[in-house]
């Protein structure tokens, strides 16, 4: 599977640099928050319409931030012994119950 190969590449990259020592859950969560802020910077002061019509340089920059977030999420899940496939599937099932189509379609309001 493609995701399995990406995980292997992420850990190979990290291990060759001896960075595991820095990848505790707290620091990984902080790194995700920081990278998320960097992602948001790409949209600062843009309208919703502008955010849908970015030039290719902006799209590349956004892709790089998304990749950084994905890398840190992958490592954090690993450090916490979480299987991303399983936890995402579980969360989608919970959200299906919380947000049934008939009550949620076209409605952005959160439900308790």
For residue 91, the enclosing domain spans 2-104
pLDDT in tens, 55-86: 999 999 999 999 999 999 999 999 999 999 99
Report whether pLDDT(1) > 70. Answer: no
pLDDT for the residue numbered 96:
95
What is the DSSP secondary-structure string of the chain? -HHHHHHHHHHHHHHHTT-GGG--HHHHHHHHHHHHHHHHHTTTT--HHHHTS--HHHHHHHHHHHHHHHHHHHHHHHHTT--HHHHHHHHHHHHHHHS-HHHHTT------
In a domain, 109, yes or no: no
Other C-beta atoms closer than 10 Å to the C-beta of 59 total 11
75 Cβ contact partners less than 8 Å away, ≥ 6 residues apart: 10, 11, 14, 23, 28
In a domain, 69, yes or no: yes
In a domain, 112, yes or no: no
The mean pLDDT value of the chain amounts to 95
In a domain, 110, yes or no: no
pLDDT in tens, 4-38: 899 999 999 999 999 999 999 999 999 999 999 99
pLDDT for the residue numbered 110:
77
In a domain, 91, yes or no: yes
Residue 90 maps to which CATH number?
Answer: 1.10.287.1080
Number of domains in the chain: 1
Stated pTM of the model:
0.90
pLDDT for the residue numbered 112:
65
> By the 8 A CB rule, do 35 and 72 touch?
yes
In a domain, 95, yes or no: yes
């Amino acid at each position: 599977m493609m995701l399995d190969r990406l995980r292997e590449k992420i850990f190979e990259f990290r291990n060759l640099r001896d960075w595991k020592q820095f990848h505790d859950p707290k620091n990984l969560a902080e790194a995700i928050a920081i990278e998320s802020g960097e992602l948001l910077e790409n949209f600062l002061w843009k309208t919703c319409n502008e955010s849908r019509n970015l030039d290719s340089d902006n799209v590349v920059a956004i892709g790089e931030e998304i990749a950084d977030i994905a890398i840190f999420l992958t490592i954090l899940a690993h450090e916490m012994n979480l299987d991303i496939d399983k936890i995402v599937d579980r969360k989608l099932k919970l959200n299906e119950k919380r947000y049934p189509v008939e009550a949620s379609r076209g409605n952005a309001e959160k439900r308790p």
